[in-house]
Amino acid sequence: MEKNITKYPSVKNIFKVASLILMVMFFVPLFTVSCEAKEFSFSAARLTTGYSYHGEELVKPYVICSLLFILPLVFFIACYIIKNKTLLNLVGGISGIINIILLVSIITKAKSEAESDMFHVDIKFGFYLSFIINLILAGIAICELLGISSKIPLLRDCIDTNSIPTNTVSKICAQCGTILKSNYDFCGECGTKYEEVIIKKNRFCTNCGNEVESGYNFCNICGSKID
């Protein structure tokens, strides 16, 4: 009886979902400003275009805030175009870090200007969610770049290889890490041809039992010849 295959969301799919959520969060209020019993909500979209009230400009346009939508959009498209895993993670990491810096700058500036005019600023859920998602996006990308994502179950690509029958999947693409079926000669993700890597095993000295690295003809402990 075959074991059940435990599937995990692929890193690329996590990136896509995070990017879509961040694009929606562009229109969700980041903070509100209370002024004379009136409350004004400001999203990144409103900050980008500016905001006027009864003909008076309360906030001038900050076009740089548009990056909170543009960067996730670019990264979402990149998930379909970029096949190189390292490059994709680099783009994702940079996008997440830039947005985190931008979000913190927006709130810092809003608080500074509001306090100088004796207004009250209330940070909304939209800021915290956008900040956390960008932090997760950047964190995953950095883990992938450092090669430690395999130690985190959620970041294992597509399938938990520990529970896969050996007769179903037995190959891993050396270029992008995608798991391939045993009869696949090319990776369906990046198109790289699969090449089997042969690992040479070390030998042991018959005289003293020392493990001798491949390529050595004599034991480096007792000097005996290795057959």
- pLDDT by residue for the chain (227 residues), tens only, comes to 344 444 445 778 889 999 999 999 999 999 888 877 788 888 999 889 887 766 666 678 889 999 999 999 999 999 999 888 889 999 999 999 999 999 999 999 888 887 777 778 889 999 999 999 999 999 988 888 887 766 666 655 443 344 344 444 456 766 666 776 666 777 777 777 766 544 445 667 777 777 777 667 788 778 888 76
CA 158, 163, 167, 170: dihedral to nearest 10 degrees?
50
Give residue 77's identity as a one-letter amino acid code.
I
Of 66, 62, 55, 67, the closest CA to residue 110 belongs to 62
Q: Which residues contact 23 (CB under 8 A, 6 or more apart)?
A: 69, 72, 73, 76
Residue 212's pLDDT is: 76
Tokens of 114: 């509001």
Q: Where are the alpha helices (DSSP H) in the chain?
A: 11-25, 44-49, 67-81, 85-116, 125-146
CA–centroid distance for 114 within its chain: 34
Residue 166's pLDDT is: 43
Helices (H) then strands (E): counts for the chain:
5, 9
CA–centroid distance for 180 within its chain: 22
Residue 219's pLDDT is: 81
- 185 near 208, Cβ under 8 Å? no
- 15 near 9, Cβ under 8 Å? no
Helix, strand, coil shares of the chain, percent, nearest 5, are 45, 20, 35
Please classify residue 175 by burial: count the beta carbons closer than 10 Å to its beta carbon, then call 0-12 exposed, 13-18 middle and 19+ buried: middle
Q: Measured between alpha carbons, how far is 130 from 29 in angstroms, rounded to an integer?
A: 10
What single-letter DSSP state applies at residue 8? Answer: -
Could you tell me which residues are beta bridge partners of residue 38? 35
- 29 near 188, Cβ under 8 Å? no
Tokens of 30: 């980041």
Tokens of 139: 């964190």
How many other C-beta atoms are found inside a 10 Å radius of the C-beta of residue 54?
5
Domain boundaries, the chain: 11-155
